[in-house]
Each structure stands twice: as C-alpha cells, then as structure tokens.
C-alpha cells in the first residue's frame, strides 16, 4: 500500500487534514452540485417511500456515524430508525418488520460483528445495504447495494476521515429518503444540498483553530477523567469525542447526553474535571447551556465547542471556547467532529502515546 504521511508527524494528523477533500469527494458521488439536488448513482433494490423502518448496525466510530444519522433520517425523511452496536444486535436477534432496510456501516467492511448482523438481517428477508470504504470487502460483497465512502485508505487506527465521509454519505442518503418520501420539497432540498456543499470550506476553517486546541490539549493531558456533553445529534458527537480521547491518549473519558448530567455524572464534577460541551447555536443550545451552568456552579472546567452566536449566548464561567464556523444545523454535527478529533490528537501527542497504533487496539476487528 503506497500511502505516506506527507509532511505530517502521524497518519492521524494527515487524515484529519485531508477531510475538506475527502468530504468533498464523497459528496460529489451523492449530489448533483450544479442542480443542487441529491442524485444517487446506485440502483436501489428498495423504494425509500415504501420502507417501514431503517435498522442500522455498526461498531466503534461507525456506530456513532449511524447514531448521528438517526436524527437526520427521522427528521428529514420521517423514517423510523433503530441503531445498535452490531455485537448487541446480532445476539438479540430482534424481530424485523417487512419492507425494512438494514444498513451496515463499516470503514473496513470486515468487522466480524457487523458482518454477523448483516447475515442475520439477510436471513430475515430485509433489504440489505452497506456503507463501506473498502469496496472489495466481505460486507460489500454480501450487500444488495453498496454505498461508498470515498476517503481513500485510512491508516490511523482511530477513525477520522472515514467518519466524516460516512456522515457525508449518510446525510445525502437521508436527504434522498426525505425527497422520495415526500417529506422534503424541492426548495428545502436545494437548501440542504447547499449546506452540504459549503461543508468542506467550513471544515478548512475549523482546522485553523489547531493552535488554540494545542494549548487546551496541554491542560487536558493532565486530567484523569474527561466528560463530554451534547444534546440531539451533538450527543453522539460527544460520545465520539470521548472514544477518540480514550483510544489514543488513554485518558478516561465519557460522552453523555447533556440532559442526563443531573442523573449521574454531575456527582463527578469538581475543579479537576474538564467538561467538554459540544453545542453549536441551535434551538436546543439554551437547554445545553443550562446544563453547562450546573457544571460551572460546581467548579467544573468547561471547554465549549460552539460558533460565534453560541459564544455570544454562553455567558460566564467558561474556561475555553473553541469556535467553529456557523453552519446550518443539518451539517453542524459533521463540522463539530473536527475539534474533537484535534483535541484527542494533540492530547495524545502530549502524552507521548503511539497515536497511529494505540495499545491493544486493531484497525479492523475481524474476530469476535
Ligand atoms: C475498530 C477501529 C475503529 C473502528 C471500528 C469499526 O475498533 O479501531 O476505528 O471504528 O473498529 O471498524 P469498521 O471497519 O467496521 O468501521
């Protein structure tokens, strides 16, 4: 495999910086950018309009991609969605409705549990689709339709560009489903497509906060535990942020739904606990801000990821604000993954860990 790190110290850094191009490349497969329409090239063995339910299964970071996409499919396409980690789904053997679509998300296309979940759904007569980065993979071969992510080979064990490519594809698929199901009219479609088209340049801008993130990472590297909070589609972004941090820096981290703070994790909050709040300005932000104030009142060190409007609303008691460009709330979860990747990466660099090959982890888990 002829892939090198270029000018970067690690593959992970190179892959983080490739994202404006890998997102754009993936989007160009799913969209007709000139016409501002979603335009799927794959022949679908099912009709979005007739689907009873979408069932997604995946592992690790791909599971968080599906968890974010659940919000899109429900909101934009009014399609009922289930999502589970494949290792739970496969043994639960859930009953599946007729006319259901099962979608498997996997960078490698070889993850054993995801493949087993696929085989279960195929056996139950579901429509079987996959979203993979490796077209020749087993999961792709056993699917009725394969949706590609076009981000090139991902070498770093901690997934970055594969996640944003999965999200770009899933956002497009949710749009296609919304159009087919009559939930999105032509004007809304054009507006949502424009939001996607503007994403690569917003990602480039978000990457420019690296200098500030390095400073924050220096202080994070001294923490024993870190809490990530988010609401709505920012909740899976928070979980992904925590996963990324623990995978490569070995610092314990948890992602929590902001509204669940008072049902447990607030007991942990003190001056030594950084709390990373992922909350770009949107109608839910006010709720998340009030959770943030509960953290501040207990001396928790808040790092807020938001846009300028969000920063203006945020008030006092915040240690650091990482600004991301203001984008439509549709694409905001994709953009918000960028600072959480950079935070994990630079914290790991301060810790001196093997960033691309973290201990005990494998790029592709082909055994149970
Ligand atoms: C491993 C990798 C993760 C990845 C997960 C699922 O745990 O370390 O980065 O998200 O497997 O892999 P897949 O290839 O199915 O996306």
Contact 146, 129 (CB under 8 A): yes
pLDDT at 362: 87
Cβ of 194: how many Cβ atoms within 10 Å?
A: 12
- Say yes or no to pLDDT of 1 above 90: no
**Residue 37's closest CA among 173, 189, 197, 198?**
189
Catalytic entry in 75, 205, 287, 363 = 363
Average pLDDT for residues 207-223, to the nearest whole number?
96
pLDDT at residue 58 in the model: 98
pLDDT band (50, 70, 90) for residue 12: very high
End-to-end Cα spacing for the chain: 26
Average pLDDT of the chain, as a whole number: 96
What ipTM does this complex have? 0.97
Candidate of 16, 60, 114, 244 to mutate for ligand 1, largest count of ligand atoms within 8 Å of Cβ = 60
Helices 186-197, 161-180: crossing angle, 10 deg rounding = 170
Name the residue with the closest Cα to ligand 1, atom 3: 60
The strand pairing partners of 254, in sequence order, are 227
DSSP tag of 43: P
Which backbone phi and psi does 76 adopt, to 5 degrees? -85, -30
User: Other CB atoms closer than 10 Å to residue 262's CB: what's the count?
Assistant: 11
CA 66 to centroid of ligand 1, rounded, Å: 13
Alpha carbon of 105 to ligand 1 centroid (Å): 10
Cα(194) to ligand 1 centroid in Å equals 30
CA distances from 60 to 32, 65, 275, 340, 363 (A): 31, 9, 22, 16, 11
What pLDDT band is residue 14 in, cutting at 50, 70 and 90? very high
Q: Percent of the chain, pLDDT > 70?
A: 99
Question: Which residue puts its alpha carbon closest to atom 7 of ligand 1?
Answer: 60
61 lines ligand 1 (CB under 6 A): yes
Confidence of residue 364 (pLDDT cuts 50, 70, 90): confident
User: Is residue 107 lining ligand 1, measured as CB closer than 6 Å?
Assistant: yes
Return the bridge partners of 226, or none: 253
Q: Is the per-residue pLDDT at 2 higher than 80?
A: no
Lowest mean pLDDT among 138-147, 155-164, 289-298: 289-298
How far, in Å, from the CA of 135 to the mean position of ligand 1? 16
Query: With bands split at pLDDT 50, 70 and 90, how would you rate the model's confidence at 90?
Result: very high
Which atom of ligand 1 is the closest one to the Cα of 111? 15
Indicate if the alpha-carbon torsion angle 68, 158, 238, 211 is positive or negative: negative
- Indicate if 363 belongs to the active site: yes
Q: Is the CB of 160 under 6 A from ligand 1?
A: no
Tens-place pLDDT, residues 128-153: 999 999 999 999 999 999 999 999 99
Q: What is the pLDDT of residues 29-81, one digit of tens each?
A: 999 999 999 999 999 999 999 999 999 999 999 999 999 999 999 999 999 99
Q: What percent of the chain has pLDDT over 90?
A: 88
Stretch 111-116: mean pLDDT: 98
**Ligand 1 binding pocket includes 364 (Cβ within 6 Å):** yes
* Residue burial 205-220, b: 16+ Cβ < 10 Å; e: rest: ebbebbeebbebbeeb
Report in angstroms the alpha-carbon separations of 228 from 31, 110, 261, 270.
Answer: 33, 30, 10, 14
DSSP 321: E
Tokens representing 339 are 């600072």
Give the confidence band of 316 by pLDDT, cuts at 50, 70, 90.
Answer: confident
Tell me which residue has tokens 């799913």: 30
Ligand 1: distance of its center to the CA of 127 in Å? 23
Q: What integer is the mean pLDDT of 239-254? A: 97
Q: Which atom of ligand 1 is nearest to the CA of 362?
A: 8
């Amino acid at each position: 495999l002829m892939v090198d790190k270029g000018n970067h110290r690690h593959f992970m850094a190179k892959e983080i910086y490739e994202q404006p191009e890998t997102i754009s490349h993936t989007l160009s497969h799913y969209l007709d950018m000139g016409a501002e329409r979603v335009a799927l090239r794959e022949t679908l063995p099912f009709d979005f309009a007739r689907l009873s339910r979408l069932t997604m299964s995946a592992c690790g970071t791909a599971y968080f991609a599906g968890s974010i996409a659940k919000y899109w499919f429900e909101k934009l396409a009014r399609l009922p969605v289930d999502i589970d980690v494949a290792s739970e789904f496969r043994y639960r053997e859930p009953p599946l409705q007729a006319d259901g679509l099962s979608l498997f998300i996997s960078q490698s296309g070889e993850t054993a549990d995801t493949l087993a979940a696929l085989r279960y759904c195929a056996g139950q007569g579901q429509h079987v689709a996959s979203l993979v980065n490796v077209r020749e993979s087993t999961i792709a071969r056993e699917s009725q339709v394969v949706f590609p992510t076009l981000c090139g080979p991902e070498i770093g064990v901690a997934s970055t560009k594969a996640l944003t490519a999965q999200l770009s594809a899933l956002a497009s698929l949710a749009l296609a489903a919304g159009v087919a199901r009559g939930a999105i009219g032509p004007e809304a479609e054009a507006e949502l497509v424009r939001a996607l088209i503007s994403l690569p340049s917003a990602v480039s801008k978000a990457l420019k906060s690296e200098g500030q993130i390095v400073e924050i990472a220096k202080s994070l590297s001294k923490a024993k535990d870190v809490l990530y909070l988010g609401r709505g589609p920012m909740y899976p972004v928070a979980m992904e942020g925590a996963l990324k941090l623990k995978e490569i820096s070995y610092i314990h981290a948890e992602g929590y739904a902001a509204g669940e703070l008072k049902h447990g994790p607030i007991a942990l909050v003190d001056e030594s606990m950084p709390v990373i709040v992922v909350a770009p300005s949107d109608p839910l932000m006010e709720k998340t801000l009030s959770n943030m104030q509960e953290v501040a009142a207990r001396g928790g060190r808040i790092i807020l990821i938001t846009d300028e409007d969000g920063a203006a609303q945020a008030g006092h008691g915040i240690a650091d604000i990482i600004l991301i460009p203001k984008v439509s709330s549709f694409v905001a979860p994709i953009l918000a993954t960028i600072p959480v990747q950079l935070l994990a990466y630079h914290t790991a660099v301060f810790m001196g860990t093997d960033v691309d090959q973290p201990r005990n982890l494998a790029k592709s888990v082909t055994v149970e």
